[in-house]
A and B are shown apart, each in its own frame.
Chain A
Amino acid sequence: MSKNPGDVFAKHLYPDISDELRKCSLRLPESLAENYEVLSCLKYSEQTATYLLRQKSVNRTVLLKTASDPIFATALDNERNILDMIHRQGTSDCAAFPISLELYELKGTHYFIRSYIQGRTLEELCESNYKKPGLPEGQALLYILQLTKQLHFLHTLDPPVIHRDIKPQNVVVDTNDICHFIDLGISRFSKSREEKNSPIMGTQFTAPPEQFFNQPADVRGDLYSLGVLLHYCITGEYSISEASLKELSPALRKVVSTSTKFHPNQRYQTADELLKNLTAVHHTNKISVAKQ
């Protein structure tokens, strides 16, 4: 190709309408349009969409999620409540979580605005590797250690918050290499009673087996998902097999196997327990690297 393919594509196929396409023709309700301007559309479906907005007063980028389907709308409300509850704690642990800014409803569509965390999802990081999917074990371990601490924070709130949807698409690594859980839409307070599990369940790849038998979610389900996530970050695979486990260091193999046992009773029972075991692996691996 003699010309830069990018120029040809942009100019001839997506010319000046590319701006409109990016915005996906979203018109903000008046009261929001006063304070925000649509920058681009990140995701779009009939029921729910995600956009980047510019908050005019402070000239910063924020995230908007819209939902017209009642189930997705409930998830937005839920996410707002959980984020608010998290930040009410006022501790340093809150810093990792997005801040809810506004929740607005107009004619059946819910609009939820929260702070925007710039970075790449764990999925994108792992899948866009040049040679093969997956991160070096040391890097993956550091990320999962961060996430385990955040999970410990959620699980020890009063009432405890179960995440229920831990997967590589729901973790963003920011420009300072800090991990953030970004979608708490189906998280639950563990004591809440409406537990006919909502139709939106966790993704089948990382969801704990008991979720498919309609068991109430508990902390050990989150720990299962975290184990699958750790394995995924290193091997690029969701399904755990003897072969895939061989790609992990012996110390880590044991931790991943324990976290992902079929029966919750055989897994680590708390995030703290998992944290201790992961930290031990981290030290073991550091020592063996130092010895080489």
Chain B
Amino acid sequence: MNDASGKSGITTSQLLSMIKKSEQFSDIAEVYHDITETPVFCHYLYDIMEKHRFSAKDIISSSGIERSYFYHILSGQKMPGRNMILRISLCMRATLTETNQLLRLSNQGVLYAKVRRDAAIIFAIEKKCTMQQTNDLLLSIDEAPLYREGSS
């Protein structure tokens, strides 16, 4: 798992192996001076949007999420729930890894293949289904959908 951490560009797995090898925390504390930030949900979301070339306007129109609410998410003012994140992720055609990272950063459970509903969503992500197709899939297999149409 790569997250760009400041100018050193050190990866999480490299950090973990350093922690395991060192005898005292002070040996590696230095490294943390270089890491400019721990990943924050809204920043990571913005990075993924840039990577997949989706603007806020694109996501707003394809997901149906209310404009002001989406901008609150981007600014960090509001933290969306699991279903909302999955909707955004599907609209951006984010990968499974990126989707799980988004879920992790918002303190939600990651997609877990043993759970039937999650398995269906993973299936939809892998098959590059749209948000609507994914929602229809969930309804057709009797699982709770990501959203219900007609609700305000």
Contacts and interface: CB of A to CB of B under 8 A. Distances in A.
Contact of B148 (A18, A128, A243): A128
A48 to B, nearest CB: 16
Contacts of B116: 14, 18, 21-22
B76 to A, nearest CB: 12
Given A128-B144, A130-B148, A13 B123 contact: yes
A9 B125 CA distance: 12
Given A6-B136, A21-B116, A132 B141 contact: no
B149 A236 contact: no
B77 A1 contact: no
B118 to A, nearest CB: 12
A132 B136 contact: no
A132 B65 contact: yes
A65 B78 CA distance: 35
Chain B contact-residue range equals 20 to 34
B117 to A, nearest CB: 11
B44 to A, nearest CB: 20
B119 to A, nearest CB: 7
B119 A13 contact: yes
A236 B70 CA distance: 13
Contact-residue bracket for chain A: 20 to 34
Given A13-B119, A132-B65, A136-B152, A243 B77 contact: yes
A124 B150 CA distance: 15
Contacts of B148: 128-130
A10 interface: yes
A77 interface: no
B144 to A, nearest CB: 6
Given A131-B65, A133-B84, A124 B119 contact: no
Interface of A: 1, 4-7, 9-10, 13-14, 18, 21-22, 124, 127-133, 136, 236-237, 243
19 contacts: A1-B127, A1-B129, A4-B136, A4-B140, A5-B134, A6-B137, A7-B140, A9-B120, A13-B123, A127-B81, A128-B83, A128-B145, A129-B151, A130-B151, A131-B65, A132-B66, A133-B81, A236-B81, A243-B77
- The 9 closest A-B CB pairs, nearest first, are A6-B140, A132-B69, A131-B66, A5-B137, A132-B66, A127-B81, A129-B151, A6-B137, A128-B148
